[in-house]
Structure formats: structure tokens, C-alpha cells
Structure 1
């Protein structure tokens, strides 16, 4: 298809008018086709497949960094003071005889603390470690004086960790079951399949990011994961509602194909999805700043991290994965295939099409054809410019038709 013939086809659809030119921002906010998502679905499938492959590979090879609540262990905390992580690890090694699992500094300024994680220690080992840390760093209490009470420890048994793990899995399974039931009842079969597949995509990618970066998985992470799965479902439902509205009785019209209706729905809800995501991300970023930089609260950090990752992944999947998958599934049905062939056949100009070089019209030209004003046809304009045979010319003296009587003004003159 040549560009000149495409332009001629677009001009024919618009009645000879030049298509209006709108800038990108205007098209983005008005939802008139700033993005071609469905037409490039193979590209988005490739990107999504690569993301899922990396996530699964990381989960298999690297695994997860589970918190103390899941696998058990001992945590020792103290005010940072002038201590460095390497110095704390050396003191731990000398006191216990092996390296700690992790030594991190949480918070900033005077509220910064050093947190040491290791496998479960006995009471004697814990007491020995606390004495060694006090002798090495002299942590200060609330009164500003060195105090052993400034060093705290907590231990979680492996049995408790197993119980927490089981409860987290039960909560996740119950959530997925209830969501699946709602989607199945609310939407038709192909929308339900697409929405559930998208939710599995979000779950896999979020878990893969945690595995790849090494974020610690805690009970707060599970809570945040359930929250972002709900957000992702909400965003997908918004797009699907618009698709359902646009494609209602689509088989009775020949203006757009099912894929074009779905692409228009994405454009019409694109800014809503972006704005919703921005509104969701801003509080999460504020929570991360407060949790990590000011307060040093690990629970808030875990909750904020999973929500930030989940919101970004959910926004991507609702736009670039859910609806393209729905279109792919629906185009396998005979109804959509027949309607698509009918629409494409209607767009083919009969006087220019030939078996050797068929002429096609882009979806953007069809969009312009429906939104642009159609000028009057030349024949209609010429007919309007010429006065009718029985209509006097402008400014001429009126002529009374022959064979008619002049009105007398009398009421019963015609009855005599």
C-alpha cells in the first residue's frame, strides 16, 4: 500500500476534507487515538514475555530472602552511634564464631539503628553477643549514658515461622479464589480469562522483582501484595468496562473492528489509569521516605516497597497486556472474524482496488473520518446555488398563479 493511495482513501472517507491535526497532548487527554496498543500487541507480548521469563528465572535461581517471621532466627538491635557494618560483623564473628546473616543500618541521624540478623541463638550466645557489642561500641540509652539496655534482641522459632507461612499462603489462596469468582460472574468468559491471567502476571512479576533485587519478604510484604493485586484488578476492570461499553452490539455496525473498539477504549481510559497510578505512587513514596530515611521502621519499608512495585506492574499490565490478550482471544471466534472481514471489505474503495494491489485505509484515517466534519457534496452545493423552477429569483416581483381568484376578504364569498 502506497502512502498516496492511503491518503486518497482517507480523503474519500472524510468526504474530501483534510484530516484535522491535533498535538500529542490533546490526543492523549481526549482519547482519540494517541497510542496504537492493539495494533502492536506482538511487541507488548514480547516485552511481557521477557519480563516474566526474567522473573521466573530469578525465582528459580536466586529464590527469596525471607524475613525472620517466616524462617525464624534472632535479631539484635542497638543505636548506631559511630558503629559501621563491617565493625559490627567482626564483633559478631569473634563473639559467636560465625558470620551473621545480615547487618544493616536503618534510619538516619540520631535515630539510626544497627540491626543484626542471624540464625536462632541460645540464651548464652545472645548474652555473650550483647556484652561484646556493649564493650565495643558503648551504645547510649535514653538518658545519654552508655547502657546495656539500649541493646535489644528478639527471637522467632522455626515453628512460629511455619505457622506464619501457612497463614500467608491461605490468605493469598482465599483472595485469589474470591477474585476469580467475582470476575467469572461479572464478565463474559474471555474477559474473565484475560483478567485472571493478568493478575497471575502481576503476581509473578512482583515476586520476581523481590527475588531479583533481594528485598526481604515479611508479613507486611504479603499484606502489601494482596493490596496491589486488588489495585491491579481495579485498573483492569476500568479498561474492561470501557471495552464492554464500546463493543456492545459491535456486530451491527461497520465503522470499526473489534480490535479498533478495544484500542479506542484503552486510549479513552489511558489518562485515568496514569492519574490513578500517580495518585497511588505519591503516598507510597512519602511512606518510603518516612519509613526508611526518618523513622527507620522496617515494617513500613517492606509495605511501601511491595506497593510501589505492584502499582507500576499493575498499571503496565492493565494497558499493555490485559486488553491485547482479550482481543486475541475474541478474534478467534467466528463472530469477530466475520465482522472484521465485513468492515475491511467496506473500507476497500471499489474503483481503485484490484487483485494485484489492494488498497487499505489505516485505522487513524477511519477515526478522522468519523470525527471530522463532512463538507457538502458538490452536487448538493450546485443544486443549492441554482434556484428551483417554481421558485422566484431573489428580489423579483411576486406573480400570481393563473386560474386563481383574488381573495375578496369576505367571510362567505366562496359559497355564493
Structure 2
């Protein structure tokens, strides 16, 4: 006896409140753009420039103690990460301390470095700064451009894949859903002023992959049902397909969210922004797969070929699984 998360006879009309679900999403996307233009993003060191200090001590690295000490200096965005390496000695404890550029300067001044060293010596008296490296505004600007190109490149590749795999209407639906997911994520980060760094770019790319995977599963079932129900209206085919894949969607999203919520609660400050972005992305990605992508396909319509004499052979999608 199998436990079923969603009953087999589920028949939810996902288009009943299309004006609210699809229209509301458009309003939220527009609001995200407005919020971004008003507040911008709270860029981390990767995009604003700053200095990375590599520390070494015989004492265990206490990230929370390091952070509390440096927060008192009011240096702005500070990131602290303990560094592990199998080649380290047993008494070799290394940390990476990243500090944002101060007042638009190319790097943190020598006086500030000395102040940081004195402060950290209160936590680990024998601490040493083995290296000090700076990331200037030029490099930060290149990172921003590379991040934008990475996201746009992923979106372009996905459009081409869905277009070739299905039809152009499905490609448009998929890309609208992805723009929705990324737009709402960036809008939320702008509204809450959560630190936006390279880890968040990685999260955005993860969201893109997860969301389009969920959307393609629904589209694949739509294609099968277009072959199976040759005279059924497109809206009904889309509804049946969404209901048939609903159990898979809820199971996949639910189990992923369980792991993410555990990381969000117990993972610590270093990965909290990354995990929060993916958690939010899973929620809006699941929503867009059900309510956004299919609405776009319905509005654009899908042509079906009824010219074959034998109805059992299907329409234009009859050989789709064999190609």
C-alpha cells in the first residue's frame, strides 16, 4: 500500500483565478523593479571591492568572536570564513577575513589593517596576518559584468533547449517563468537589503536550473496529453497535465525545502544568504511552473495537426518521445 501525497483523482482548476495568480505575479514583478530602482542591492565585497586578510594562529578559529570584535570597529561589510586544508599542521588554524573598501578607497589603509590586527589579538594573542590582498573597483566591475553575462547566458541556453525540445510557445512560457523567479528574488533582496555577492549569483543560477526542470516536467506531460486527447481544449489539457504532475512537484519541492530549512536554521551566517535565496527561489519557482508558464502557453496557443487519417496515431506530437 503506497502513501499518496496527492490523490490520483485530483482535479484542481489552476486557471480558475488566472486573473489573480497571473495578474498578481505581474504586479509583484513590477513592484520588484520599482524597489530595485529605489533601493538598489546591498552589494557584498565581491562587487564593491575591499580587502581580504588571511590570518593564522595556534588557537582554534572562533568565527563569532572574530565577528563581534570587528563589528565594534564599524568597518561595514565583514565576511569571516575558517579555512581548512589537509596539509595544515595540527596547530595551524587559518581564517579569511574580508572587509569592504572604506569610503570608496581602492583598499583598506595600513592604519586600518593595524587596528584590525590589534583587535583580533584580543581574541587570539598570537594571530598573524600571512597575506593581505585588495579587490579594487575595476575588478568588482568586471565581476558584476561577468555575473550578469552568466545569468543571461543560462537563460539563453534554456530558451534554445525548450524551443528545440518543444515549441516556441513553450520556450516563451518557460522564459517568462524564469524572469518572474529571478525578478522576485532580486526584488526581495533589494527590499530586505540582504548582502548580494557571488554566492547569491550561484543561488540565482541554481534557481534557474531548478525552476526550468520543474517547468519542463509539466511541459512534457502537456505534450503527451496533446497526443492523447486530440480534441480536448488546450486549457483542459494544461489543467490535466498540471494535476498529473502535482504529486511529483510537491514531493520534490517539499523534500528540497526540508533540507534548505535545516541549513537556514543551523547553517550559520556564512551561507545564510545563499540558502535563503535558494529557499525563496524554490517557492516562487514551483509557483511559476504551475501558474505562470502554463498561462503564457494558453495565451499563445498551440497548434495541433489533425491531417492524419488514423486518429490513433496522434497529431504533431505523436512521435515526440521517439525523437
Query: Are the counterparts in 2 of residues 106 and 113 from structure 1 also a CA contact under 8 Å?
Result: yes
Match of 2:123 among 115, 120, 139: 139
Question: What is the TM-score normalised by the length of structure 1?
Answer: 0.59
- Residue 239 of structure 1 deviates from its aligned partner by 0.9
2:261 aligned counterpart, secondary structure: helix
Pairs within 5 Å for 1:164-203: 164-203=143-182
Q: Which runs of 5+ in 1 are unaligned?
A: 1-24, 93-98, 141-145, 336-416
2:266 pairs with 1:282: no
**CA 1:84–1:234: 2 relative to 1, 3 Å:** closer
2:252 pairs with 1:273: no
2:63 pairs with 1:63: no
Query: Are the counterparts in 2 of residues 80 and 114 from structure 1 also a CA contact under 8 Å?
Result: no
* Structure with bigger gyration radius: 1
Query: Are the counterparts in 2 of residues 194 and 322 from structure 1 also a CA contact under 8 Å?
Result: yes
Query: Are the counterparts in 1 of residues 50 and 98 from structure 2 also a CA contact under 8 Å?
Result: no
Question: What is the TM-score normalised by the length of structure 2?
Answer: 0.74
Residue in 2 that maps onto 1:40: 17
* RMSD between superposed Cα atoms in Å: 3.4
Match of 1:314 among 271, 275, 285: 285
Q: Which runs of 5+ in 2 are unaligned?
A: 56-60, 83-94, 305-323
Query: Are the counterparts in 2 of residues 80 and 113 from structure 1 also a CA contact under 8 Å?
Result: no
**CA 1:138–1:191: 2 relative to 1, 3 Å:** same
Residue in 1 that maps onto 2:226: 247
Aligned equivalents of 1:219, 1:88: Cα separation in 2 = 22
Residue in 2 that maps onto 1:373: none
Residue in 2 that maps onto 1:219: 198
Aligned equivalents of 2:136, 2:67: Cα separation in 1 = 28
- Residue 62 of structure 1 deviates from its aligned partner by 1.1
Aligned equivalents of 2:30, 2:149: Cα separation in 1 = 26
- Residue 162 of structure 1 deviates from its aligned partner by 2.2
1:74 aligned counterpart, secondary structure: strand
2:102 pairs with 1:125: no
2:16 pairs with 1:30: no
Deviations 1:144-196 (A, max 9, x none): xx234289865322222222223222222221221111111111232221111
Query: Are the counterparts in 1 of residues 107 and 135 from structure 2 also a CA contact under 8 Å?
Result: no
**CA 1:243–1:83: 2 relative to 1, 3 Å:** closer
Aligned equivalents of 1:284, 1:40: Cα separation in 2 = 30
Higher strand share: 2
